[in-house]
Structure 1
């Protein structure tokens, strides 16, 4: 995919920067993570308004461009209310636990190749580790504890239900996400983020490992509690979910954590599957596309493609039922992820010698396309199961036909004039 010569960093290139350069890169990463949520909040409201034939923010600043800043100031000036009966230590720590890991995960995300900064050659990446992707997964796991503890410490029913949902959500979808990482590790031969980007010099892993890409894309929406997987919040069911009892800056920190997590998982998807900071074809034909500071632009554009998809999904899809959500994770994503990892390992073992570097990507892409089609079919079966045909009704009035409100597994109100069927008292007693 990227044929231009690049200066890919290696693990040995990290750890040699002077302290002032480390501070500059850390501040730059932090600024990137603060500016992106501000832009994302405004972009989300504008894009959703456009898709739904509305105006969106248009009062604060030119064309409403300062609306995100105004919202932040408004939240900061609101009175912070701490409800009676909360666990104050955990109640105050929960927003911090939600935000800090989301920021720390970006420490190992590569923004570009090695460049010269004030005469010092340094990679456009804060640091790298031999297990950098696992570090990101660990930070994402810790961040969810902020949601769980917020629900537990609030001392209220709805936040508690939201926290419990978040626990089940993390367990379900991080397993599938971790298995997609395993397939990438097998192909790249490393867990280092800079090494994975370097391994996509000729082709992107998202093209040859399409099942991993699709499963990760679904899992990252569930990991960030975004629609249609926003069950821990679920305004229509749980008022506001885990942050119902929060206000002022503490509430703003939860919102900041959500949008930073969106940027983080989008950046990780870019790194693992879309070549990272490397320019897409045909821009890669330009000799200078992957050198200097240009890669930061390609990286940011790819991240915002995923951010747009987040907004698109929220605008277009209704929230899934909880049973659909859990079935999708346990019955579809995890089994297919596990099977795909085994397929990738078998292909790598069978076509790993001789001309394997040329044949293996083609074979992997062909098998991956078949697995992806199967994956979409399974997702459709879980999310939109076939509707059972009702039994034939004798030519009687509706009032004469017995109606069982629990026939489909969920309570359904009867039609006007219908009579509810009487269940066996023994079944009711056993239940």
Structure 2
């Protein structure tokens, strides 16, 4: 009975984090972009430092009419936002936040599970693009699929390098096996994994599938109200998941200067810093063209990821 209660409490904690952390990232993005670009609106809603901006956005989405295009495939159109959002909830369940079982559910092949489930999220965009009966939406969905095919391979190879180094596919096992000298050794893999993750989330500068100047808003053009909000929430949840995974795989997870008893704090701090970097990149870099996106993946990231795997194999042989 106690084991069942423990599992329920863990899953409830993951659900609360899933509901809170993406909204916190969204609110932070408003503020960071307001400071970096001199945007006044997000800094004044509600008074002190624009605290009510998130509330205002929520009310705006909730009061908008839910419209389904007449020629759309209604069922597929309606469930696409859920398909885009739910994979990130499943991934959060297996990401370790701290030592001593501080994880929703530990899985021996956790890394394999995470990479497999993350690939499902793109189906939401493909479903939305096809079901909308809109040529701009369809183009956005096809671009999303092409981008996933290009960037999934280097992301998997970079993660495989860490699994080789740790000798396990378990995420808690990878953190436990972490050594301080891994960071400079795996720095190229960390760059590849983080960059490929940004591309899969369609975050700037890899946001060609939703290029407003070309295809309105890509696969999400026909969405309004809460369904559109779910796609935005999926993006912010993806940022949390990407940053947390990068922390666990490449930055030592809960390891920090002091006792591991506050390891959960180190995990959250590292994740928050990486989330800030994601927002910073959006403000700093212009959007890449579609051909530049593909060229960067196939001619830069994939060769680098193969070199990282080769380096990991050499280091493992020398150490052993």
* Residue 226 (structure 1) aligned to one of 186, 191, 203: 203
8 A contact 1:205–1:272 mirrored in 2: no
8 A contact 1:112–1:125 mirrored in 2: yes
Structure richer in helix, relative to its length: 2
Structure 1 residue 346 displacement after superposition: 2.5
Q: Which runs of 5+ in 1 are unaligned?
A: 1-15, 115-122, 354-431
8 A contact 1:266–1:306 mirrored in 2: yes
C-alpha distance in 1 between matches for 2:241 and 2:154: 18
Structure 1 residue 70 displacement after superposition: 2.3
TM alignment of 1:193-342, pairs within 5 A: 193-200=171-178, 202-203=179-180, 205-279=182-256, 283-284=257-258, 289-291=259-261, 294-342=262-310
C-alpha distance in 2 between matches for 1:265 and 1:186: 20
Distance change >3 Å, CA 74–CA 185, structure 1 → 2 = same
Structure 1 residue 22 displacement after superposition: 1.4
8 A contact 2:186–2:308 mirrored in 1: no
* TM-score normalized by the length of structure 2: 0.96
* Residue 166 (structure 2) aligned to one of 170, 180, 188: 188
Q: Secondary structure at the match of 1:173?
A: helix
8 A contact 2:194–2:242 mirrored in 1: no
C-alpha distance in 1 between matches for 2:209 and 2:80: 15
RMSD: 1.4
Matched, 1:106 2:76: no
Structure 1 residue 329 displacement after superposition: 0.4
Count of residues paired in the alignment:
319
8 A contact 2:158–2:193 mirrored in 1: yes
Structure 1 residue 73 displacement after superposition: 2.4
Structure 1 residue 197 displacement after superposition: 0.5
TM alignment of 1:341-356, pairs within 5 A: 341-349=309-317, 351-353=318-320
Q: Secondary structure at the match of 2:65?
A: coil
Structure 1 residue 152 displacement after superposition: 0.6
8 A contact 1:176–1:337 mirrored in 2: yes
C-alpha distance in 2 between matches for 1:332 and 1:348: 24
Which of the pair has the greater relative contact order for Cα pairs under 8 Å at 6+ separation? 2
Matched, 1:18 2:3: yes
C-alpha distance in 1 between matches for 2:125 and 2:5: 35
TM alignment of 1:48-87, pairs within 5 A: 48-57=33-42, 58-60=44-46, 62-87=48-73
8 A contact 1:204–1:273 mirrored in 2: no
Structure 1 residue 181 displacement after superposition: 1.0
* TM-score normalized by the length of structure 1: 0.72
C-alpha distance in 1 between matches for 2:313 and 2:278: 31
User: Highest CA radius of gyration, 1 or 2?
Assistant: 1
Moved over 4 A (4+): none
Structure 1 residue 55 displacement after superposition: 2.8
C-alpha distance in 2 between matches for 1:170 and 1:17: 42
Distance change >3 Å, CA 150–CA 190, structure 1 → 2 = same
Post-superposition CA distance 1:160-181 (Å, at most 9, x none): 0000000011011010000001
